[in-house]
């Protein structure tokens, strides 16, 4: 618990609040403000896990979201455990439990390390070549190997139980969104805020200040203030503006079209259980639509690619400074700096100034910055110019590095010597963090001085400022930040005047003088060189070179072949190095190689957070009718129909679903049944051209339908295929009430609006959806008239006076009702429409009135059965978008003589008039107890012949009919209309085909024996 590497008086962690947590089962001490990484380093630990493929030890490399492979599994609860959490970004708290990943039985002794021993047998594309393409393994297939490979390779373990945490997503509009709260972002936000604009400032970590937190607090002043004081002053300024929102612990993970930016806020991950506010979600996704965006996302250091560069203890030079200044931790006891540029020298200076031991600066450049060399000399730091690290030693942490000097062409010259060190602080240069810029579809520009990409041409309303724009000198960073903030506010139509920016004084190295190096020579043959580019996916420089030789010229193909840049880190520190190595291998420039696509998300986002509050019952809210609560009280079984939940059946206690359906369907024909038909789509059609309109949208004629009458209609698409059906009533000459299928209500209305607005704007017709305005109870059966008469007043219900396919207005308990004498069962039926708020009242009145008559509520399953007995189609069950009215043998519903209607011309297309089309028929199986499977194929022979089997058609509906005492089925059969009485066979999987006779589909009518 001694934290031997924690330096007194340094760092920004809260020394008054010690915090301990567990890692790999051991208790680790740290302070509030520590990440897992800084606390581990304070305790002298650097190895965190094992790599994906070779199970090589992996340590801490970065200090923020750049780290490639130092990931842990958080927690052990199978519901809330969180895999692949970066130790460099996760703040510690009491009770935090972190475990290493991808190692067994333990971190230090891991069986999978055998993969490492055989590494040279696992070149790029190994799995593809060996298990998918090779003749030797043809006797086995990929599926055999895949599970084993998956088990050996991998990262953390996914939770296996439903996520117990809550998440939310919020929408927000703003004028200026500033991403990144380093010196550039803070300045941009402060300047934009002065205009009064709505500003959102987003910072990924818990602390504002960015790179200023990772710099020597005594080396820099801004306007005479120490960095921390300047940050505090900027923060205070922002707090004065009520329109400014500052979000910390928030990552901008995706930049989408039209300045739509996704943010993920980690609300309570950093708090121990007892301090979490249960009213707050664990994480929150902000969906921000910004008028203007300022990108101030900083830069990411890239390592040098050298032999044995993946051992724990090899860290980015900037990360070592970050651990020192932000967390007060010396990442190593004896630090060797390895670089090709000036910036890493600062690490040596800072560690030396903090009392740490510096083993030396190994610099590959031929010409060094003289001022820096002098500074190193004064500090007593050994400098090795034109030298490279050509190897390292140490199993779970490096203990020494091997260096060789280089000749004029950059090759290894002479023998290697050994330098003892437990940390190599490495820098190969800096890559502006252009991920969000590239996601916004901006165009990158190659910067030869930095040997990296920077923002070039913007596509969206954004601008980059500071290091992410390739600007590293603090004075210029502030100027750019200020300019970006002002410009963004002005572009969002705000007025703001520029103010003078503070003067910066600093002794921090700000020069780069980079000599690009993509791969450090090792003095050894390629196959023996283990120079890692991608530390997460175990991609070596040699893998990229092999891929290039094998012809993977496209950078996107090479990525997929080698796995370079894949995984949870998406190649943050490695991609530019990889492009450089590919460019060298092909003898072209890096911009000619190009880049892989920067995709959202910038950093992994919890799926639960993206789901937000839209889970469980909120995933897809269901509509219920006014009678829904009654159905629930009766313990009905429900089914989703379109957006609705409808009662499917009302089983009595102890009754099976099947028995309930049989009972309900029987009652509807023998006594009376009642159905909640509220969900039918209802469209109110008005205007003097309403009749003309109906003539054009339905297949049949509407010119003569008198007020008070109803008619069934088929609606087609322009392709001539049935798209919907329903009954429409004429209320008055210029007023109709259309019903549609439950699922088709919205699409029919859209289609009708489309034709009215775009094709026939001259028609005087107005459409209003009234689906929700009416509740509908349909009472059918021999007793229906008596039951309805007890509830409805003002209508003579005698079928003589109130004939089929008419409607009448009446009242129920004084409330106006409209009753339609239409039927979907073939029985005498009354569909009573009442204003929706009275729906449940009416329903209960009818149920009470029907009780002495045996009125039985029936659900959608019995409804389907009853309509099939009568041979009524269901659009979407008998039809599938390839069925014409002729195919349904419903030519009676098509008016040949009236004018044009939607789909009319298609009914005479060569394909629709073929005489061998499938047609709707009824099927009676020879065995009346056998109910065929819906969807089953129909064949013409008693035995199933060898494939390809000639298919005659398929079963569309099949039920056991309680009223006929046998099974019935509807089917689409080739030339079905001409096959009455023929026997066909219904194929079954693994069983003999079932013989059935083709009949007319009205099983109740006289047509049962038609054609026999």
Residues found near another protein in the complex (CB under 8 A): 256-258, 260, 289, 438, 441-446, 453, 456-457, 459, 554, 556, 591, 594-595, 597, 718-719, 750, 753-754, 757-759, 761, 900, 904-906, 909-910
User: Closest CB to another protein among 643 and 1002?
Assistant: 643
The tokens 């031997």 sit on which residue?
4
The neighbouring-strand residues paired with 19 are 30
Distances in Å between the Cα of 374 and the Cα atoms of 360, 380, 382, 513, 732 are 14, 10, 11, 16, 100
Min separation Cβ 510 and another protein, Å: 25
User: Closest CB to another protein among 82 and 584?
Assistant: 584
Q: Are 234 and 240 in contact (CB under 8 A)?
A: no
User: With helix as H, strand as E and coil as C, how does 769-787 read?
Assistant: ECCCCEEEEEEECCCHHHH
User: Closest CB to another protein among 160 and 910?
Assistant: 910
Distances in Å between the Cα of 1001 and the Cα atoms of 42, 710, 841, 965 are 82, 24, 38, 16
Min separation Cβ 611 and another protein, Å: 16
User: Closest CB to another protein among 137 and 256?
Assistant: 256
User: Closest CB to another protein among 899 and 981?
Assistant: 899
Which tokens hold the place of 726?
């329903």
DSSP per-residue letters across 707-763: TTBEEEEEEE-TTS-EEEEEEEEEEETTEEEEEE-TTTHHHHHHHHHHIIIII-TTS
- Whole-number Å distance between alpha carbons of 637 and 645: 10
User: Closest CB to another protein among 97 and 719?
Assistant: 719
Distances in Å between the Cα of 443 and the Cα atoms of 18, 135, 463, 511 are 47, 45, 12, 26
- Segment (H or E) for 430: strand 430-432
Min separation Cβ 836 and another protein, Å: 21
Q: Are 727 and 821 in contact (CB under 8 A)?
A: no
User: Closest CB to another protein among 122 and 260?
Assistant: 260
Min separation Cβ 715 and another protein, Å: 16
The tokens 């979000």 sit on which residue?
247
The tokens 């581990």 sit on which residue?
40
Min separation Cβ 612 and another protein, Å: 14
The three-state secondary structure class of 446 is strand
**Radius of gyration, CA atoms only, the chain:** 38
Min separation Cβ 719 and another protein, Å: 5
Min separation Cβ 440 and another protein, Å: 9
User: Closest CB to another protein among 267 and 721?
Assistant: 721
Min separation Cβ 218 and another protein, Å: 41
User: Closest CB to another protein among 597 and 656?
Assistant: 597
- Segment (H or E) for 809: strand 807-812
Report the candidate in 649, 645, 646 with the shortest Cα–Cα distance to residue 635.
649
- Whole-number Å distance between alpha carbons of 203 and 182: 8
Min separation Cβ 454 and another protein, Å: 10
Min separation Cβ 768 and another protein, Å: 10
The tokens 């980059």 sit on which residue?
464
DSSP per-residue letters across 533-561: EETTTTEEHHHHHHHHHTT--SHHHHHHH
User: Closest CB to another protein among 240 and 754?
Assistant: 754
Distances in Å between the Cα of 604 and the Cα atoms of 264, 268, 607 are 10, 17, 9
User: With helix as H, strand as E and coil as C, how does 76-136 read?
Assistant: CCCCCCEEEEECCCCECCCCCEEEECCCCECCCCEHHHHHHHCHHHCCCCHHHHHHHHCCC
Min separation Cβ 458 and another protein, Å: 9
Min separation Cβ 904 and another protein, Å: 7
Min separation Cβ 562 and another protein, Å: 18
Min separation Cβ 258 and another protein, Å: 5
Q: Are 253 and 602 in contact (CB under 8 A)?
A: yes
User: Closest CB to another protein among 716 and 873?
Assistant: 716
User: Closest CB to another protein among 441 and 889?
Assistant: 441
The tokens 């509407």 sit on which residue?
702
Min separation Cβ 553 and another protein, Å: 12
Min separation Cβ 755 and another protein, Å: 8
Question: For residue 623, how many other CB atoms are within 10 A of its CB?
Answer: 16
Cis peptide before 494 (omega within 30 of 0): no
- Whole-number Å distance between alpha carbons of 603 and 610: 13
User: Closest CB to another protein among 346 and 740?
Assistant: 740
Torsion, CA 876, CA 881, CA 885, CA 890, rounded to 10: -20
Min separation Cβ 259 and another protein, Å: 9
**Residue 937 CA from chain centroid, whole number:** 37
- Whole-number Å distance between alpha carbons of 642 and 744: 8
User: Closest CB to another protein among 719 and 785?
Assistant: 719
- Whole-number Å distance between alpha carbons of 592 and 574: 18
């Amino acid at each position: 618990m001694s934290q031997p590497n924690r330096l007194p008086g340094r760092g920004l962690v809260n020394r008054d609040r010690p915090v301990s947590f567990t890692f790999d089962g051991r208790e680790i001490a740290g302070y509030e403000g520590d990440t897992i990484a800084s606390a581990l380093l304070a305790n002298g630990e650097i190895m965190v896990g094992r790599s994906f493929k070779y199970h090589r030890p992996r340590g801490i490399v970065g200090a923020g979201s750049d780290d490639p492979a130092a990931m842990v599994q958080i927690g052990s609860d199978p519901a809330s455990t969180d895999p692949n959490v970066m130790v460099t970004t996760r703040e510690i708290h009491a009770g935090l439990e972190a475990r290493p990943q991808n190692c067994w039985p333990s971190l230090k002794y891991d069986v999978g390390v055998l993969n490492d021993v055989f590494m040279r047998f696992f070149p790029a594309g190994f799995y593809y070549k060996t298990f998918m393409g090779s003749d030797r393994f043809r006797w086995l297939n990929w599926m055999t190997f895949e599970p084993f490979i998956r088990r050996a390779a991998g990262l953390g373990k996914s939770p296996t139980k439903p996520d117990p945490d809550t998440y939310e997503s919020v929408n927000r509009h703003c004028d200026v969104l500033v991403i990144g709260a380093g010196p550039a972002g803070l300045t941009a936000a402060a300047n934009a805020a002065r205009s009064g604009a709505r500003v959102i400032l987003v910072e990924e970590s818990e602390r504002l200040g960015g790179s200023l937190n990772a710099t020597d607090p005594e080396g820099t002043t801004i306007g005479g203030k120490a960095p921390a004081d300047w940050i505090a002053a900027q923060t205070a300024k922002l707090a004065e503006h009520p329109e400014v929102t500052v979000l910390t612990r928030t990552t901008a993970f995706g930049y989408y079209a039209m300045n739509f930016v996704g943010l993920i806020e980690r609300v309570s991950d950093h708090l121990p259980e007892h301090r979490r506010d249960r009213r707050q979600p664990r994480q929150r996704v902000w969906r921000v639509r910004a008028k203007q965006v300022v990108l101030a996302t900083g830069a990411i250091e890239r390592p040098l690619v050298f032999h044995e560069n993946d051992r724990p203890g090899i860290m980015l030079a900037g990360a070592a400074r970050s651990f020192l200044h932000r967390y007060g931790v010396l990442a190593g006891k004896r630090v060797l700096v390895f670089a090709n540029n000036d910036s890493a020298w600062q690490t040596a200076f800072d560690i030396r100034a903090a009392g740490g031991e510096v083993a030396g600066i190994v610099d590959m450049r031929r010409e060094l910055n003289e001022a820096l060399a002098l500074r190193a000399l004064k500090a007593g730091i050994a400098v090795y110019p034109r030298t490279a690290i050509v190897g390292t030693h140490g199993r779970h942490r490096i203990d020494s590095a091997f260096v060789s000097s280089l000749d004029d062409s950059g090759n290894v010259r002479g023998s290697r010597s050994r330098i003892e060190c437990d940390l190599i602080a490495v820098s190969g240069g800096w890559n502006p963090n252009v991920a969000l810029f590239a996601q916004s579809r901006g165009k990158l520009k190659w910067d030869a001085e930095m040997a990296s990409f920077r923002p070039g041409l913007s596509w969206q309303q954004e601008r980059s400022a500071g290091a992410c724009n390739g600007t590293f000198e603090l004075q210029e960073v502030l100027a750019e930040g200020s300019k970006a903030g002002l410009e963004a506010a002005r572009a969002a139509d705000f007025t703001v005047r520029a103010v003078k920016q503070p003067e910066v004084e600093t002794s921090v190295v700000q020069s780069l003088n980079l000599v690009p190096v993509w791969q450090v020579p090792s003095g050894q043959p390629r196959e023996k060189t283990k120079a890692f580019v991608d530390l997460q996916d175990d991609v070596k420089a040699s893998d990229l070179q092999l891929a290039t030789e094998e012809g993977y010229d496209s950078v996107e193909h090479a990525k997929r072949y080698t796995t370079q840049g894949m995984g949870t880190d998406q190649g943050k520190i490695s991609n530019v190095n990889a492009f450089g190595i590919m460019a060298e291998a092909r003898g072209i420039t890096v911009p000619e190689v190009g880049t892989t696509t920067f995709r959202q998300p910038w950093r992994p986002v919890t799926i639960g957070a993206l789901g937000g509050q839209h889970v469980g019952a909120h995933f897809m809210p269901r509509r219920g009718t006014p009678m829904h609560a009654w159905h629930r009280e009766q313990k009905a079984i429900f089914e989703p129909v379109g957006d609705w939940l409808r009662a499917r059946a009302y089983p009595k206690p102890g009754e099976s679903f099947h028995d309930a359906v049989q009972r309900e369907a029987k009652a509807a024909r023998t006594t009376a049944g009642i159905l909640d038909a509220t969900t039918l789509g209802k469209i109110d059609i008005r205007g003097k051209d309403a009749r003309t309109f109906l003539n054009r949208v339905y297949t049949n004629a509407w010119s003569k339908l008198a007020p008070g009458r109803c008619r069934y209609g088929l609606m087609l698409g322009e392709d001539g295929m049935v798209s919907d059906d329903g009954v429409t009533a004429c209320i008055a000459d210029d007023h109709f009430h259309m019903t549609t299928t439950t699922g088709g209500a919205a699409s029919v209305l859209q289609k009708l609006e489309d034709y009215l607005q775009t094709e026939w704007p001259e028609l005087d017709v107005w459409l209003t959806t009234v689906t929700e305005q009416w509740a509908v109870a349909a009472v059918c059966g021999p007793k229906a008239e008596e039951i309805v008469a007890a509830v409805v007043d003002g209508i003579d219900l005698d079928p003589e006076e109130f004939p089929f396919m008419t409607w009448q207005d009446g009242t129920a308990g004084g409330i106006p009702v409209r009753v339609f004498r239409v039927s979907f069962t073939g029985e005498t039926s009354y569909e009573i429409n009442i204003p929706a708020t009275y729906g449940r009242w009416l329903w209960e009145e009818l149920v009470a009135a029907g009780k002495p008559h045996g009125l039985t509520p029936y659900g959608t399953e019995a409804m389907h059965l009853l309509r099939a007995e009568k041979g009524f189609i269901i659009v979407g069950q008998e039809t599938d978008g390839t069925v014409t009215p002729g195919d349904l043998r419903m030519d009676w519903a098509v008016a040949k003589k009236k004018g044009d209607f939607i789909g009319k011309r298609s009914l005479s297309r060569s394909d629709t008039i073929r005489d061998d089309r499938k047609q709707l028929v009824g099927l009676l199986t020879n065995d009346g107890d056998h109910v065929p499977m819906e969807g089953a194929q129909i064949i013409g022979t008693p035995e199933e012949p060898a494939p390809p089997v000639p298919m005659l058609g398929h079963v569309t509906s099949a039920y056991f009919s309680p009223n006929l005492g046998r099974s019935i089925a509807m089917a689409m059969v080739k030339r079905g209309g001409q096959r009455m009485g023929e026997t066909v066979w219904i194929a079954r999987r693994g069983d003999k085909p079932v013989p059935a006779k083709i009949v007319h589909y009205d099983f109740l009518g006289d047509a049962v024996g038609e054609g026999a």
